[in-house]
Amino acid sequence: MTKPNFAELGLATELLDALRQENYETPTPIQSQAIPPLLEGRDLLGVAQTGTGKTAAFVLPILQRLSDQPTKAISRRPQALILAPTRELAIQIGEAVVAYGQNLHLRHAVIFGGVGQGPQIQKSVRGVHILVATPGRLLDLVRNGHIYLDKLETLVLDEADRMLDMGFIHDIRKIMTLLPEKRQSVLLSATMPRDIERLARNLLSDPLKVAISPKAVTVERIEQYVYFPNNADKFSQMLAVLEDPDLSRVIVFTRTKHRANRVAEFLAKNDIAAEAIHGNKSQGARQKALKNFREGETRILVATDIAARGIDIDDISHVINFEIPNEPANYVHRIGRTARAGSDGVAISFCSPDERPYLRDIEHLIKRSLIDAEHRPFMANIPKKPKTGQRSKGQPSGKSKRGPGKRRGSAASGGGKSFDPIKSRARPGRRRRQAVAA
């Protein structure tokens, strides 16, 4: 059987050219399944997480349908609205609109809270075809008469479960009362709890259902290792793992903002370029940290689950779970970052004794056991148990000097993202160093 291609999905030449420009060769499963019915105007209920190519699956049909019936953008009245839970996700969707729509003459704006309204209002008054928005700021502008939704033809609710988690349900219900009856609606969610099902029933009409199983991402493509240190040993164990330069672009996950800060500070003290992103950081600080990470200035991004969801960064070599998530679905979201749109990845978890129940839930969800790194070592020279005598209780100690991580295994060096335990074990000269306390 030949591979599916974008032209077969019915996309226009301008979009095919843009996809070539982006180096997309074949559609991902959600793109193959969702694009043809969306082009025909059907509603869609998609269960898919970040990394599946879901953004292109809904942005491409919106662009095509708008360019098929070229109308001038109407002042204050967008024709397509894409709602996203966070500003980061909204910005990324805006970037996708620009990239895929580069050969079309459609106008768009991205609006979100935490910044001045002036420029956003100006854009809306001039008129945009496509509006990407977070719910709160959208409603502010609607209330003040800067945006009307009565000419809307397509609505997309992206990461609907996250929106509900973040308390946007009332805003979304309010927005739903403002929409015209006749419209196309799309709801995407990584999970499908009961309240999302209820929302979908109210929003969608005879939707096509597409489910892209996270299992395909976690089970088949990602090598998943686990270490079992005590809480006190996690810091030094993480440093030992980071000795491997193959860990070139790493997201370290924690459950709390406080712990994210501690981990980032600890790494920085040990001369590893790291920055934390979480909800307590200002918009500017988060954008700066993401930019530094994207550009390879920082090797490690330390993130909480909420801060990381929806962030689109390619070429993540490894995900480290410094703390095991207490929501098993979050494990899938976390490690999905290292295997984006079909490439391989490696996830390394540190599971302390009190986190064992969380690990059991995760293994139950993904229907497989993580590889015990001490028995099938991820790196052979990591001591089975870090020597606790070398540090004060609860903290590693000592001094270490290391340079920032060399970018290896990324597209820039021509390497892939797959992890080779044999190669990794055989590499000489790797020594465990002592850590500077956080």
The residues facing 277 across adjacent strands are 303
CA distance 313 to 345: 13
Closest CB to ligand AMP among residues 54, 391: 54
For the purposes of burial, counting CB atoms within 10 Å of the CB of 291, is it exposed (0-12), middle (13-18) or buried (19 or more)?
exposed
Token reading at 160: 């609907």
Q: Is 56 in the site for ligand AMP (CB under 6 A)?
A: yes
Rounded to the nearest 10°, the torsion over CA 4, 10, 16, 19 is: -60
Closest separation in Å from C-beta 26 to ligand AMP? 6
Closest separation in Å from C-beta 52 to ligand AMP? 5
Residue span binding ligand AMP (CB under 6 A) among the ranges 44-52, 117-125, 189-197, 326-334: 44-52
Closest separation in Å from C-beta 27 to ligand AMP? 5
**Among residues 11, 27, 249, 321, the one that binds ligand AMP under rule CB under 6 A:** 27
Closest CB to ligand AMP among residues 55, 184: 55
Q: Is 52 in the site for ligand AMP (CB under 6 A)?
A: yes
CA distance 72 to 151: 13
**Among residues 35, 38, 45, 51, the one that binds ligand AMP under rule CB under 6 A:** 51
Q: Helix or strand or coil: residue 351? A: coil
Closest separation in Å from C-beta 183 to ligand AMP? 22
Q: Is 221 in the site for ligand AMP (CB under 6 A)?
A: no
Q: Is 340 in the site for ligand AMP (CB under 6 A)?
A: yes
CA distance 300 to 268: 10
Closest separation in Å from C-beta 96 to ligand AMP? 7
Q: Is 53 in the site for ligand AMP (CB under 6 A)?
A: yes
CA distance 103 to 14: 5
> What is the per-residue binding string for ligand AMP in 353-392, x denoting contact by CB under 6 A?
----------------------------------------
Q: Is 61 in the site for ligand AMP (CB under 6 A)?
A: no
Q: Is 333 in the site for ligand AMP (CB under 6 A)?
A: no
Closest separation in Å from C-beta 346 to ligand AMP? 18
Residue span binding ligand AMP (CB under 6 A) among the ranges 45-53, 174-182, 408-416, 418-426: 45-53
Nearest to 156 by CA among 183, 187, 114: 187
Q: Is 266 in the site for ligand AMP (CB under 6 A)?
A: no
Q: Helix or strand or coil: residue 79? A: coil
Q: Is 50 in the site for ligand AMP (CB under 6 A)?
A: yes
Nearest to 51 by CA among 257, 299, 336: 336
**Among residues 195, 271, 314, 354, the one that binds ligand AMP under rule CB under 6 A:** 314
* Helix segments in 46-134, DSSP class H: 54-68, 87-100, 118-126
Closest separation in Å from C-beta 337 to ligand AMP? 10
Q: Is 55 in the site for ligand AMP (CB under 6 A)?
A: yes
Residue span binding ligand AMP (CB under 6 A) among the ranges 48-56, 76-84, 363-371, 379-387: 48-56
Residue span binding ligand AMP (CB under 6 A) among the ranges 25-33, 36-44, 163-171, 258-266: 25-33
Rounded to the nearest 10°, the torsion over CA 406, 409, 411, 414 is: 110
Residue span binding ligand AMP (CB under 6 A) among the ranges 53-61, 192-200, 212-220, 240-248: 53-61
Residue span binding ligand AMP (CB under 6 A) among the ranges 26-34, 77-85, 136-144, 356-364: 26-34
CA distance 278 to 30: 29
CA distance 328 to 130: 35
Closest separation in Å from C-beta 9 to ligand AMP? 11
Q: How many of the other CB atoms lie within 10 Å of CB of 151?
A: 13
The answer to whether 264 and 293 are in contact (CB under 8 A) is: no
Q: Is 341 in the site for ligand AMP (CB under 6 A)?
A: yes
The answer to whether 374 and 257 are in contact (CB under 8 A) is: no
Nearest to 57 by CA among 15, 91, 90: 15
CA distance 404 to 185: 46
Residue 385: what are its φ and ψ, rounded to 5°?
-130, 120
Q: How many of the other CB atoms lie within 10 Å of CB of 140?
A: 15
The answer to whether 355 and 230 are in contact (CB under 8 A) is: no
Q: Is 100 in the site for ligand AMP (CB under 6 A)?
A: no
Closest CB to ligand AMP among residues 217, 366: 217
Binding footprint of ligand AMP on the chain (CB under 6 A): 24, 27-28, 31, 50-56, 312, 314, 340-341
